[in-house]
Structure 1
Amino acid sequence: MPPPTASDLIFSEQANHNFSRTLGDLKRSTLTIQNRLQSILHDAAFAQQVAGAYSRPLIANERCGSWYIDPETKGGSAYFKSTDGHTGVWKFSSRRLNLHLLEIIGKHDGCIIIDSTRRGKRMPDALCKTIPIWCSVLNRFLFPEQPKFHELYTPPQIVSQSEHAQIAALLPSFVAALEALNIYVADLKHNVPKPLRPIWVTPESNVTPTSSIFEDFHPVICCTVSRRVAGGENSEGGYIQGAGDDTENWAHGLSPPVFWANREVLLSTPETELPNFIENLVARTAAAGTAKGQMRCLKPASHLFIGSISDLPVNSMLPAAFTIILLPKITGEDTWRTSPTRLDVGLGPHKLGSRNLRTALPFIIDFFRRSLTLRKTERGQEDETTVLIACETGKDLSIGVALAFLCLFFDDHGKLVQEPSREVHVDKTFIRSRLGWISTSMPDGNPSRATLQSVNSFLMERPR
């Protein structure tokens, strides 16, 4: 038998291709919808174990965190982004202040923030860096006279000393940015009499029941629910780390509330039938409709409300309310004015609507200004005008228009003024301070970058 040649020892290009395809098939056979849902329930059980051990409310760090908490036991939502904790680009976000958590933390002496991360990482950056930055910045902001509470705490097994030092050096600038928003410190400090301190829990932690009350601080328990997987998923018996992530690639429109309400039937449905079953389930749920929400007031303004179009009250056509509806379809400007107190502005969907907002804002602002002037002339006195602003989601275009209104028609105390002041210097800092009002009143608001850019362009370029 002749000795083997190099061609015998090296796989051909076709063999390599087949090998890669086989590995891909194995991975796909593991990353099934069934395995994801089973993994989510597995990790959700750990979240409940942590809640039982520490007796504090479960807060979902959106979007991923909600998959791991039964809506019946969910204590709220947070919006800490891992991108705000990525190495070299750390920041304290003025768009995601999460100040609504302070009331929950003060009431329950802390909270448990639930999140997860995909294979290869022990903990998401949101939990190991973004939240520690948030805690330290708020401690410096709320307790400036107590420097012993200003220290930055990060998990040393994940965040290196060098990275920790680089983040700590940025904290004064983050505090200055928060102070520039002109948020009322007294109201926030009333909610949390003690500083905040992050504490980390993972499936590797020794979780034992405790009734400990920390005298010096409120614990913000950062809980990573997914077990760390070092190798490939096919070595884990079907378990998928961070199974609730990347839903656009596997969920077929399934959302956490629909999953938890139908988990038993979903888990009993064969894998081959799941995609069609989920799509039909989501369609039936949408057709049945969800509970009608409420327009939300943007404090400290007492008469400015935003929400989705479906949230609008039946009496929104009454003269007492000035209503702006931002439609996800394009309509002509000559059709926008539907009554003396209502605009139906057809901007188009998504990014197109965000871009068109820039050219529509002059029309909206001028119409509102004229309406205020006419109302004052007719009634002979100034009165509080209720303003309702609605878009398809209630969390994007409506926030953009509300931000423009807060900058032009409301003073520093949230009181409506009749005429936009040309003396007010509207710059990026001023706009961010008004955006801070919105993020505090509705932390789940998520205006797109394109929407905010349109508002900034309009406000910064308007004549003075």
Structure 2
Amino acid sequence: MGDERILSIYKASRSIKKRENSLYNALCSIFDDSVFVAEIAQLWPELPLVANLRCGLWYSKRFHHNCYFKSTDGHTNNLSFNTSRLNLHLALLAGQKGGCIIVDSTRKGKRFPDSMSKTIPIWACVMNRAISNHKNRMRGSVSVVEGTTNNHKENTEQDLLSWDCSLHLPLWVPPAERMAIENHLEEWTKQLETSGADITPLLSILKKPLRPLWISQKSVIWLNEVPDHESWDFTPLILVSASSSNGYLQQRTASEFSWNYIPGAGDDEESWARGLSPTLFWNNAIELISSGPDQCNQKVADIVEKDRVYRAQRGHNAPQISIKSLKSFGNIDNSHSEEILLDLKSTDTRSGENLSRDDSKVCWLGSSNIAVCSTQLAVNAFDVDSILNCDQEAFSACLKDQEACMHLPIVNSKFDRFSLLRNLPSAVSFANSQLEKGKKLLVCCNTGEDISICVCLAILTSLFTVEGCFDDGKSFRETCITKLEMRQRLIYICKFAVNARPSRGNLKQVFSFLNRESNSCVS
């Protein structure tokens, strides 16, 4: 009798918790927080609004660009400057526009995610130091041009002296952690300088050093005293944490429906969004919010299915979305989104219509005759002769030679730790056969940001010289690839594919493949 009572109490508490963390609550919370983001954006309308992927992408209908700073790079005892996520395009954008506003959020009850508290400040400081070092080297190596005035030289030296290279952290970062970060700054700056990243364009575009500022819903802003961003002696990175830090499960009311507020509701979208993307949400936001908690799930299902059918009718990649119970995943925290999880191995929620302007680009990797993009764009093959499809779903490409299309169903390292490694020999062999005929190769995957990037990394490293010339792998067979060399190739790719987000697990598989291949060639 006692056990049954305990079980019934547990079921009741689980039912309440599921209802509190429902899809409707998440969407209402995002919509409510977006009002705050819009208000901050209006304070500096000239500055571009940038979403920190992926959570930040939910909090506004219109973003000018995306960036990718991971909170894990700013976690205590895991501090790092990651050269595979350099975000050079963000520094260029900030330099061109005089600054930018970056949006993100967190569920953990903190005012700011670690990506804003530490990762971005570290990045800004390292960038400033690298730029300053580069300017100093240029000043030391260039002889004084005849006719150069002393006044001009004094101004140049003054610019270098005023270039702020100090670390700017928020007040809540403890002194011990600040000291730990400062101890690594020189090391991280050298990593950036030896990575092969081209920061030369920043020298002319970035007139003032980068510096972060922090704004949350607790910040007090006097509207009649908002400074003009051009009046600052730095290039501002205004970090906006969209959610309230003390409103977890606080009951609120919208229209005739009440709902529970969830801070950072846009985080971990696979666990709650049911296939809904940020663009689909904002295209149907009023309808979804006004549908109420009882009808919201069905409305989302109808919207997602309608979008899938729309894409399928136009020949786009549009697999059926399946939903699994979290119980089948073992010991997973299933407190979110009514115990459902999207089957990521067969799910594609980023249609051509749902892509942002930056995601919709087909990225040509320099003069290599190789392009990378998402599967949706690859379906309607344009100016290419061959396609390497790394998505799980096959499609019929519009190519003259159907044999010039290879399908390798590669899954993410989270689901199969060796899927990419098993398929890389076939991928490189196919790429070699196409490139040696002078064909243009398109490599695609679900998002165009991870698996396809890693495949391109393996192809460029295996078949191209350091200078970027195709040589059928001759130079690769004569040497062993180090992590630094692979990192330099990845940075080269990210120069063109600015939204590249290769996962650590997939990069490890690429490195294993390259070392195995080079060792076999040497032996």
TM range (shorter): 0.7 to 0.9
Q: 1:153 aligns with which of 165, 168, 190?
A: 168
Aligned equivalents of 1:202, 1:175: Cα separation in 2: 30
Counterparts in 2 of 1:227 and 1:317: CA distance versus 1, 3 Å = closer
In structure 2, what residue type is equivalent to 1:107?
A: Q
Deviation at 1:19, TM superposition (A): 5.9
Residue 435 of structure 1: how far off its partner (Å): 0.9
**Counterpart residue number, 2:310:** 288
* Compared CA separation, residues 22 and 341, structure 1 to 2 (3 A): closer
1:139-288 → structure 2 map (5 Å cutoff) = 139-144=128-133, 145=136, 146=160, 149-156=164-171, 158-207=172-221, 208=223, 209-229=226-246, 233-234=249-250, 238-288=260-310
Residue in structure 1 matched with residue 387 of structure 2 by the alignment: 323
**CA displacement at 1:372 relative to structure 2:** 5.2
Write the distance in 1 (CA, Å) between the matches of 2:97 and 2:38. 17
The DSSP-based 3-state class of the residue aligned with 2:230 is: coil
- Distance in 2, matches of 1:95 and 1:199, equals 24
Q: Which amino acid aligns with 2:406?
A: D
| Post-superposition CA distance 1:125-145 (Å, at most 9, x none) | 011101001101111111124
Aligned to 2:211, the other structure's residue is in SS state strand
Match status 1:362 vs 2:362: no
- Amino acid in structure 2 at the alignment position of 1:326: C
Counterpart-to-counterpart distance in 2, 1:202 and 1:415: 49
For the 8 Å contact 2:364–2:372, the answer to whether it is kept is: yes
What corresponds to 2:42 in structure 1? Answer: 52
Counterpart of 1:68, as a letter, is: Y
1:298 aligned partner: 365
The equivalent of 1:307 in structure 2 is 373
Deviation at 1:21, TM superposition (A): 5.5
Letter in 2 for 1:102: A
Q: Is the 8 A contact 1:399 1:445 kept in 2?
A: yes
Equivalent of 2:404 in 316, 338, 342: 342
TM-aligned CA distance change 1:426 to 1:265, over 3 Å:
same
Distance 1:386 1:354, change over 3 A: farther
Question: Partner residue of 1:9?
Answer: none
Cα deviation per residue 1:53-76 (whole Å; 9 max; x = unaligned)? Answer: 1231211111111111112xx111
Query: Distance between the aligned counterparts of 1:13 and 1:123, measured in 2?
Result: 42
1:459 and 2:514 are equivalent in the alignment: yes
Contact 1:97/1:440 (<8 A) preserved: no
Distance 1:297 1:365 in 2: 18
| More displaced stretch, 214-223 vs 120-129 | 214-223
| CA–CA separation in structure 1 for the residues paired with 2:209 and 2:295 | 51
Q: Distance in 2 between matches of 1:348 and 1:85?
A: 30
Shift in CA distance, 187/385, structure 1 to aligned 2, threshold 3 Å: farther
Q: Letter of the 2:490 partner, please give it.
A: L
Matches within 5 A, 1:60-139: 60-71=51-62, 74-139=63-128
Are the equivalent residues in 1 in contact too, given 2:386–2:404 (CA < 8 A)? yes
CA displacement, residues 20-53 of structure 1 (integer Å, 9 cap, x when unaligned): 6655554444333333222212211111111111
The answer (yes or no) to whether the contact 2:388–2:442 under 8 Å persists in 1 is yes
Report the aligned-residue RMSD. Answer: 2.9
Deviation larger for 126-135 or 240-249: 240-249
Which SS does the other structure have where 1:228 is aligned? coil
What is the rounded CA distance, in whole Å, between the counterparts of 2:190 and 2:422 in structure 1? 33
Partner of 1:32: 22
8 A contact 1:59–1:114 mirrored in 2: yes
Cα–Cα, structure 1 residues 259 and 313, in superposed 2: closer, same or farther, change >3 Å? closer
CA distance in structure 2 between the partners assigned to 1:327 and 1:245 by the alignment: 24
- Counterpart-to-counterpart distance in 1, 2:452 and 2:90: 23
Tell me the distance in 1 between the aligned counterparts of 2:510 and 2:404: 21
5+ residue gaps, structure 1, are 1-11, 331-337, 376-383
Q: Deviations over 1:192-230 (max 9, x none)?
A: 222100110111112334324245310001111111216
Note the C-alpha offset of 1:396.
2.8
Residue 236 of structure 2 aligns to a residue in which SS? strand
Which amino acid counterpart does residue 298 of structure 1 have in structure 2?
Answer: L
Q: Which whole-Å CA distance do the structure 2 matches of 1:340 and 1:281 have between them? A: 34
Structure 2 residue identity aligned to 1:271: P
* Structure 2: gaps of 5 or more residues: 137-159, 254-259, 312-350, 354-359, 395-399
1:399 and 2:453 correspond: yes
Q: Which amino acid aligns with 1:167?
A: I
Amino acid at match of 2:454: G
2: distance between equivalents of 1:174 and 1:324?
Answer: 36
With normalisation by structure 2, the TM-score equals 0.74
Distance 1:186 1:402 in 2: 25
Q: 1:416-455, CA deviations, whole angstroms, 9 ceiling, x for partnerless residues?
A: 3354303454211100111112233223223333432221
Q: SS of the residue aligned with 2:26?
A: helix
